[in-house]
Amino acid sequence: MKPFTLSFISTLFALGALILLAGCQNSTNDFGPTGALSGKVTYQGEPVKEGLVQFNNPEKGFGGQAVINEDGTYTITNDSGGLVLGTYQVSVVPPTIEKSFGPDTPPSEVLKEMPNIPQKYHYPKSSGLSVEIKDGENTFDIDMQ
């Protein structure tokens, strides 16, 4: 019987690594299957150009967030971890800015004032928004009034 060569073993190792990586792309993480999510955030039909969309599943203790792009779109991909399948409360939060409250007080982070993100949308319980994440691609557009 002929012994295996180093190049043959290396090829087998590389092939095994590719199979393992392909298996990791099945939309799961340590907490179960996940789904991807994308959408657009608008206020009275106009795109919201900055902020965060936050997702909270209090029953399972899971959550996530996505940055709002200049065109109002946001995305959570399975490549970045996705969202565990289930129903989430949704909030839309302005970005934070550094603000000084006086010469003797160090600056602190506060929410930027943005009239196109009404206060009620800052909190998951008062926003009235929810989304169910299913396996695969999900879309959830948010039009605030």
Q: Give the pLDDT score at 29.
A: 65
Q: Give the pLDDT score at 16.
A: 40
Helix (H) or strand (E) holding 18: helix 6-23
Nearest Cα neighbor of 114 from 59, 16, 55, 47 is 47
Q: Give the pLDDT score at 27.
A: 56
Of all residues in the chain, what percent carry a pLDDT higher than 90?
63
Q: Give the pLDDT score at 114.
A: 94
Q: Which amino acid is at 30?
A: D
- 135: confidence class by pLDDT, cuts 50, 70, 90: very high
Q: Average pLDDT for residues 1-6, to the nearest whole number? A: 43
Q: Helix (H, G, I), strand (E, B), or coil: what is residue 66? A: strand
Q: Which residue has the higher pLDDT, 37 or 15?
A: 37
Position 40 pLDDT exceeds 80: yes
Total residue length of the chain: 145
What is the number of other CB atoms lying within 10 angstroms of the CB of residue 121?
A: 24
Position 43 pLDDT exceeds 90: yes
Q: Which residue has the higher pLDDT, 114 or 102?
A: 114
Residue range 55-113, pLDDT digits in tens: 999 988 889 999 999 999 999 998 888 999 999 999 999 999 998 888 888 889 999 99
Q: Give the pLDDT score at 132.
A: 97
Q: Give the pLDDT score at 141.
A: 98
Domains along the sequence of the chain with CATH: 30-144 (2.60.40.1120)
Q: Which two tokens stand for residue 144?
A: 């605030």
Across the chain, mean pLDDT equals 84
